[in-house]
Amino acid sequence: MDYTITELAQLAGVSARTLRYYDQIGLLRPVARTGGSYRLYGPAEVDRLQQILFYKARGLELDTIARLLDDPDFDGLAAMQEHLTALQQRQERLAGLIRTVQDTIHAMKGEREMSDAEKFLAFKQGLVTANEAEYGAEARQNYGDAAVDAANARLLGMSREQYEAFQALGEEILARLEAAVTAGLDPAEEEGQTVAALHRRWLGFTWDRYTPAAHRGLVQMYRMDERFTAYYDRRTAGCTEFLCRAVEHWVK
């Protein structure tokens, strides 16, 4: 069945303006136009729009979505299975957060005791679950089950202060990357050295054993994997490449 732009917008719950923009940037082009130049969308376009909306719901930028969908090796079924896993993991994280809120309410009412560790366990468990869903297979293949399990255990075993420092350091790295890229700095300059050192310190929160070779190998994976690029470039394009080049230059 073919749809006009208005019909497809109503079907998908998006605006016609959004569909026109997707057409303009080449993300979702109509299959044909009527004699009156009305856009028409067929089954393939409907399926592509569904994929676009799933990827958007997972936080990917439109240019990243376009690269994924236009890849000659793109597999629609595999993508759906990936969406399902990611959404199930998100559901588990939300369920954990809900339980923590409920437990905290009971504790504030004096109905139960709650340790400081319990207050932050859901946040750490959610991070472990999300990382396993997104990167677990590659990490286990590259570094082995023992290393990944140890990293997860270190994260779950962090104190409140350690976890807050871990999160704050991650945000500082992102902010420095964005500022450096915006300013047009060279990763081989002083700020690149600072970012590489901060990234090494950030890895130290979860890595049992650090080596420069492993660090350089990790950023190579960042460069090759669209998911890492989507994370580091989510606000400013070029942050992933700056980080990779900084580590490659300064970490010996």
The candidate with the shortest Cα–Cα distance to 203, out of 173, 248, 237, 176, is 173
Residue 4 pairs with which residues in a beta bridge?
A: 40
Kindly report the pTM of this predicted structure: 0.50
pLDDT confidence of residue 127: 67
What's the chain's average pLDDT? 85
- How crowded is the C-beta side of 26, counted as CA atoms within 13 Å? 6
Nearest-angstrom CA–CA distance, 57 and 51: 10
- Whether residue 168 is found in the same domain as residue 210: yes
pLDDT confidence of residue 248: 96
Instruction: Tell me which residue range forms the domain holding 172.
Output: 159-252
pLDDT confidence of residue 167: 86
pLDDT exceeds cutoff 80 at 140: no
What is the bridge-based pairing of β-strands 32-33 and 3-4?
unpaired
Into how many domains does the chain fold? 3
Can you tell me the mean pLDDT for 218-234? 85
Choose the final residue of a domain: 53, 70, 87: 70
Can you tell me the mean pLDDT for 13-41? 90
User: Tokens representing 73?
Assistant: 């090796």
- Whether residue 171 is found in the same domain as residue 248: yes
- Whether residue 16 is found in the same domain as residue 34: yes
Q: What radius of gyration, in Å, describes the C-alpha atoms of the chain?
A: 22
Choose the final residue of a domain: 48, 70, 92: 70
pLDDT confidence of residue 139: 65
- Whether residue 164 is found in the same domain as residue 231: yes
Domain with 48 in it: what CATH number? 1.10.1660.10
- Whether residue 152 is found in the same domain as residue 165: no
pLDDT digits (tens, 9 = 90+) for 174-217: 999 999 999 999 999 999 999 999 999 999 888 888 899 999 98
